[in-house]
């Protein structure tokens, strides 16, 4: 005989005050730490609350669900990486295909610095739930926003392959803990992969 919520009606409180925003940040940070230290399996609401130094009740004041925490975390990571990417790809000096590719590769690889396990868990969890599309939306927006001079008339499939080949390879290196992950050689190959694909498309 569970609570049996009839008409949910009221949404979870949106943090408006400074104190609240702080609490939310605390919870997200705690979540990342738990994920990093114990993986997805150890990511329990009680563990998160304890680590964040708040009660479970507080946690549920700000998040509808355990899922919601993961989604928020994912969004935060995506946003951070996109910010890096934006910064990197708008630098005027990187005008060549290789130059831009290298800037992008670096931004992403650097984005993966630290909290690898947490990132992995977040990615897994978000994919495991249906929330993938929701979280990936900003990425798609970012890609679509690229000046068409550089990505001349790319199809959706091409954009997909381009982005996932890059991200997928980096993720694999992270997950498999490849020693060359942060090496120049790895960076070079990624640039070659991207630039090669670019050239192949244009050549058609």
Partner DNA sequence: GATGAATGAGTGTTCATTCAT
Partner DNA sequence: GATGAATGAACACTCATTCAT
Pair 48, 34: CB distance under 8 Å:
yes
Question: Which residue is it, tokens 């897994």?
Answer: 124
Question: Which residue is it, tokens 């690889």?
Answer: 109
Question: Which helix (H) or strand (E) is 59 found in, with range?
Answer: helix 56-62
37 binds DNA, rule: CB under 7 A: no
Residue choice 83, 134, 172, 182 for contact with a second copy (CB under 8 A): 172
Torsion of CA 73, 28, 39, 71, to 10 degrees: -30
179 DSSP 8-state letter: G
Between 66 and 171, CB nearer to DNA: 66
13 binds a second copy, rule: CB under 8 A: no
Under 8 Å CB-to-CB from 6, ≥6 apart: which residues? none
The token pair that represents 101 in the structure block: 């590719």
55 binds DNA, rule: CB under 7 A: yes
The token pair that represents 73 in the structure block: 């975390």
164 binds a second copy, rule: CB under 8 A: yes
Between 71 and 170, CB nearer to DNA: 71
Residue choice 30, 35, 43, 78 for contact with DNA (CB under 7 A): 43
Shortest gap between Cβ of 135 and DNA (angstroms)? 18
- Of DNA, a second copy, none, which one sits near residue 139, judging by CB under 5 to 8 A according to partner kind? none
Contacting residues toward a second copy, per CB under 8 A:
1, 3-7, 10, 37-42, 47, 50, 65-67, 120, 124, 127-129, 132-133, 136, 155-158, 160-161, 164-169, 171-173, 175-176, 178, 180, 183, 185-186, 189-190, 192-193, 195-201, 204
């Amino acid at each position: 005989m569970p609570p049996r919520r009839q008409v949910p009606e009221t949404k979870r409180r949106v943090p408006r005050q400074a104190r609240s925003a702080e609490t939310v940040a605390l919870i997200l940070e705690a979540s990342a730490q738990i994920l990093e230290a114990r993986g997805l399996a150890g990511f329990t609401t009680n563990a998160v609350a304890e680590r964040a130094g708040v009660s479970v009740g507080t946690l549920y004041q700000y998040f509808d669900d355990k899922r919601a925490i993961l989604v928020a975390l994912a969004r935060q990571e995506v946003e951070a990486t996109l910010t890096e990417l934006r910064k990197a790809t708008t630098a005027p000096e990187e005008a060549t295909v290789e130059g831009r590719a290298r800037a992008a590769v670096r931004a992403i690889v650097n984005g993966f610095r630290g909290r690898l396990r947490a990132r992995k868990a977040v990615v897994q969890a978000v994919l495991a739930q249906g929330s993938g599309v929701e979280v990936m939306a900003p990425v798609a927006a970012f890609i679509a926003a690229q000046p068409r001079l550089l990505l001349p008339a790319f199809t959706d499939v091409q954009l997909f392959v381009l982005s996932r080949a890059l991200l997928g390879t980096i993720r694999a290196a992270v997950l498999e803990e490849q020693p060359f992950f942060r090496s120049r050689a790895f960076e070079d190959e990624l640039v070659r992969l991207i630039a090669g694909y670019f050239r192949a498309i244009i050549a058609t």
